Amino acid sequence: MFEAHTEVRATRAEALHLHQVSAKTVGEADRALPAGVDDAQVATAQAAWQYPASQRHTDTVLVPPGTAVGGTVTVWVDDAGRKAPAPRPYGELASTAVAAGAPAFGVLVPSAGGVVRLRLRRVEARSLAGWDREWDLVGPRWSGRLRREPEAGSRR
């Protein structure tokens, strides 16, 4: 759980330095490539934007196939205006946390089970030893077979 909170805090801190800006394409969109999600396709094109307001930047960005020169696209940039990856969605953070925690859980559960099993064995051994001691006292009277006590002068 701790790791998930750390990841969320880090992502939030990172997101404070990421900004979405509108960019205008200044070049033709290249051929469409599979994006790998729902059979969608993406293309790349040169685009220009201004961020901060006084600085112009140009870089290759992902655009929908067929985007014309002068088309508007959204670009994520850092504080200096350089192209940056979009912030990670919280679903990705959750799956990362689960993937990180699964091995620990896989070790913790069998270990805890082993400790409980050993503890129960000790409790059972003590219980059975106590039962044996009590039976040694009560058993001969209850069963009608009296235990022979050693005679005072004899040695065993």
Q: What is the pLDDT of residue 1?
A: 47
Cis peptide before 85 (omega within 30 of 0): no
> For residue 46, what are the β-bridge partners?
60
SS3 content of the chain, % helix, strand, coil (to 5): 45, 20, 35
Q: Which amino acid is at 31?
A: R
Q: Which percentage of the chain shows pLDDT scores above 90? A: 34
- Has residue 111 got a pLDDT over 90? yes
Across the range 3-10, mean pLDDT stands at: 63
Across the range 38-64, mean pLDDT stands at: 87
Q: What is the pLDDT of residue 154?
A: 56
Across the range 147-156, mean pLDDT stands at: 59
Rg (alpha carbons) of the chain, rounded to whole number: 37
